[in-house]
Amino acid sequence: MLAANEEAWEARAACRTSDPDVLFVNGAAQNEAKVTCVGCVVRVECLAHALDRRIEHGVWGGMTDRERRALLRRRPTVSSWRRLLEAARTQHDRRASPGGGERWTAAG
């Protein structure tokens, strides 16, 4: 069973009031659906959720199912995407503080 705080991100997701069918489309429509994720405050948590659970369909954390499969193939040894992405975000935040300016991406 998951701890309550592990899935609390869902309540803050930009898509929480959207029609779920918008995010579970096929082909080129997925690129349009990704717009929903732009600026979402829990994008990293959402993406980690999908990657850790190997969710095969839909847009999660701003990535299509095809993009997530490619990422999983490139990084087959990752045991916890949540830990990896949170560590990368922490490192990015440190670099982005005054004088930083680097941009972090999940594709790493």
Which pLDDT does position 97 carry in this prediction?
Answer: 76
Q: In sequence order, which residues have a C-beta less than 8 Å from that of residue 46 and are 6 or more positions away? A: 9, 13, 37, 40, 60, 61, 62
Which pLDDT does position 92 carry in this prediction?
Answer: 84
Task: Tell me the sheet residues that pair with 29.
Answer: none
Q: What are phi and psi of 50, to 5 degrees?
A: -65, -40
Q: In sequence order, which residues have a C-beta less than 8 Å from that of residue 13 and are 6 or more positions away? A: 40, 42, 46
Q: Quickly count: other Cβ atoms within 10 Å of residue 101's Cβ.
A: 8
Tens of pLDDT along the chain (108 residues)?
445 555 789 999 999 998 989 999 998 899 999 999 999 999 999 999 999 999 999 999 999 999 999 999 999 999 999 999 999 988 888 888 776 555 555 554
